[in-house]
Amino acid sequence: MHDTFRALVVNKDDGGYRARVQAWSQDQLMEGDVLVRVAHSTVNYKDGLAVTGKGPIIRQFPMIPGIDLAGTVEESSSPGFAPGDKVVLNGYGVGERHQGGFAQYARIKSEWLIPLPKRLGTQQAMAIGTAGYTAMLCVMALEHNGVTPDKGSILVTGANGGVGSVAIALLSGLGYQVIASTGRVQESDYLQSLGAAEILDRSELSGPGKPLGKERWAGAVDCVGSQTLANVLAQTAYGGTVAACGLAQGMDLPATVAPFILRGVTLSGIDSVMAPKAKRIIAWDRLAREMDLARLADISSMIGLDEVPGAAEAILAGQIRGRVVVDVNA
């Protein structure tokens, strides 16, 4: 390993909030029992907030952001991993409280890592990333609550984003009829190529609505929150489930208890950051088996480390379609 390597470092001091690529040394890495040579990372919405400073994501400075990484074990004092093992990481506060994936190396606690499924390369794993892993957790929540394809359509909000794009591809591949809600209806061809059967303008859901509406879907994957989630719940069919995993519109929930006590609707919260390791392994194994890798290539693009700040601004502005993979060595 080289003594120094390239890393995107965020600092906040009297000079302001800034993110720039600089030389970093292994001595500056935080504690951990596994050293990973990072191959790829990815830009999620949370990474956008961290890199730009538009959200209080980073807890200490300086910090290497990047909540995802995939690469090869270089050194390990953990019995669970050996040099040469391919690994993937999502969440656990990495990129927030512990140096993350926007660097050529990361020192990580072994309990945060899982083996990379053999069918996936590091680039493919990061085309999935936290967004795709979260989408699979949403699918698993729907299945757990008995929302099978024969029960009716599944709505996906924020459909052009990372979670939404992968959710559509996964759900359609599993035989569900998918309704995609988006603010970019000009992207309808893209969403239909992923498997969406119907496109809904997000304006139908983003404004004030009734406590209960017509039953329109058996379940939903909601990446938006706020008024949209309230309207999604109000139009979910009897016994349906809504998996909530995002807050693009806001953290509030201006809803009533009507969908829950009159229609038996379940609101299932999806946490990808601290999800148990056993559930992570199931989710990633299923992604490796069930994700159409050709579709994965269609929904992802590649950038280098120097381009991350621009991508961070773009993802917050809603200008990113699908997934952005970061080649940290480019």
CATH superfamily of 4-116+299-327: Medium-chain alcohol dehydrogenases, catalytic domain (3.90.180.10)
Beta bridge partners of 6: 23
Cα separation, 240 vs 18, in Å, equals: 45
| Phi (first) and psi of residue 156, to 5 degrees | -125, 115
| Phi (first) and psi of residue 94, to 5 degrees | -65, 135
Beta bridge partners of 86: 72
Q: Model confidence over 140-166: pLDDT tens digits?
A: 999 999 999 999 999 999 999 889 999
pLDDT at position 248 over 80:
yes
Q: Which amino acid is at 189?
A: D
Residue 123, helix vs strand vs coil: helix
Q: Model confidence over 86-104: pLDDT tens digits?
A: 999 999 999 999 999 999 9
pLDDT of residue 322: 87
The CATH number fitting domain 130-269, selected from 3.30.420.40, 3.30.70.120, 2.40.160.10, 3.40.50.720? 3.40.50.720
Percent of the chain with pLDDT over 90: 90
Q: Model confidence over 32-81: pLDDT tens digits?
A: 999 999 999 999 999 999 999 999 999 899 999 999 999 999 999 999 99
- Determine the average pLDDT of the residues in 240-249: 95
Q: Please name the residues in contact with 262: beta carbons below 8 A apart, sequence gap of 6 or more.
A: 212
pLDDT confidence tier of residue 1, bands split at 50, 70 and 90: very low
Longest dimension (CA), the chain: 62
- Lowest-confidence region among 147-151, 180-184, 285-289, 318-322: 318-322
pLDDT of residue 77: 98
Q: Please name the residues in contact with 180: beta carbons below 8 A apart, sequence gap of 6 or more.
A: 155, 156, 159, 164, 168, 191, 194, 196, 198, 199, 200
Q: Which amino acid is at 325?
A: V
- What are the residue boundaries of the structural domains of the chain, listed by start? 4-116+299-327, 130-269
